[in-house]
Chains A and B, each alone.
Chain A
């Protein structure tokens, strides 16, 4: 089972990296969203896959059945989903505002902090 998901994770990474290397801001944003899902699947798979049984203890029982899914990666991913979403929302707002201010979504032209013209270097003291 893990083998399928491993391939899927590889596909996720390849796709998101390709988008992140783009010069267009929107594609970078989509890449970030994709990367979040890829990483979550990576954690999920590395905790091993079980079909079907959720990590919930039967009513009345004290200890879980042996065959339940691994709860630890799930706890990690649950917060990761929410955080990556919050981050994604923040980056969206940031790009939107940058687009509004600079008037372009071409990252090669977004150079206010690091202008193309070398800034005047001090010539000594």
Chain B
């Protein structure tokens, strides 16, 4: 699909979609969204980018190999469970911190968040792997 319009617009679109997917990921705990949905959005973005501009730019943009990204996500999710072990609670128990970065502004950090980011990375990594592998075989 070697059209000029697509090639011009898709990099921009990909960037927007990835940002949106991160928003969906972070909003997921309270509003519709989460790691799975976010991951799918980001994966579609990269797949689209691959179709429009070829595989090589996508690989450059990702910097890491998609399988490594997925594996790192897996590690992150598993580690989020290990943290609770150090606190003396069962594996994968959710832990929360509410550090105050400015007066009256609390940033909720938690192991479920870390876990969800891991999910996001696994979904993005795995699906981009498959999509790129198929796109590459022209």
- CA–CA, A78 and B28, complex, Å: 13
A-B contact pairs, 25 of them (CB 8 A): A54-B32, A56-B30, A56-B31, A56-B32, A59-B30, A78-B34, A78-B36, A79-B36, A81-B36, A82-B36, A82-B39, A82-B40, A82-B123, A85-B127, A86-B126, A86-B127, A86-B130, A89-B127, A89-B130, A89-B131, A92-B134, A93-B130, A93-B134, A96-B134, A96-B137
Q: Hey, which bits of chain A sit against chain B, CB under 8 A?
A: 54, 56, 59, 78-79, 81-82, 85-86, 89-90, 92-93, 96
The one of B30, B36, B123, B130 in contact with A90, judged by C-beta atoms closer than 8 angstroms, is B130
CB contacts (< 8 Å) of B32 on chain A: these are 54, 56
A81 closest partner in B (C-beta): B36
Known A81-B36, A86-B127, A89-B127; further 5 A-B contacts with Cβ < 8 A: A56-B30, A78-B36, A82-B39, A86-B126, A89-B130
B34 closest partner in A (C-beta): A78
- CA–CA, A78 and B31, complex, Å: 15
Q: Hey, which bits of chain B sit against chain A, CB under 8 A?
A: 30-32, 34, 36, 39-40, 123, 126-127, 130-131, 133-134, 137
CB contacts (< 8 Å) of B133 on chain A: these are 93
CB contacts (< 8 Å) of A92 on chain B: these are 134
B126 closest partner in A (C-beta): A86
CB contacts (< 8 Å) of B137 on chain A: these are 96
CB contacts (< 8 Å) of B126 on chain A: these are 86
CB contacts (< 8 Å) of A90 on chain B: these are 130
- CA–CA, A56 and B137, complex, Å: 43
Write the nearest CB–CB distance from A54 to chain B, whole angstroms.
7
A97 closest partner in B (C-beta): B137
Write the nearest CB–CB distance from B84 to chain A, whole angstroms.
20
A100 closest partner in B (C-beta): B137
A83 closest partner in B (C-beta): B36
CB contacts (< 8 Å) of B31 on chain A: these are 56
Which residue of A79, A82, A85, A93 has the most chain B CB atoms within 10 A of its CB atom?
Answer: A82
- CA–CA, A95 and B134, complex, Å: 12
Write the nearest CB–CB distance from B30 to chain A, whole angstroms.
8
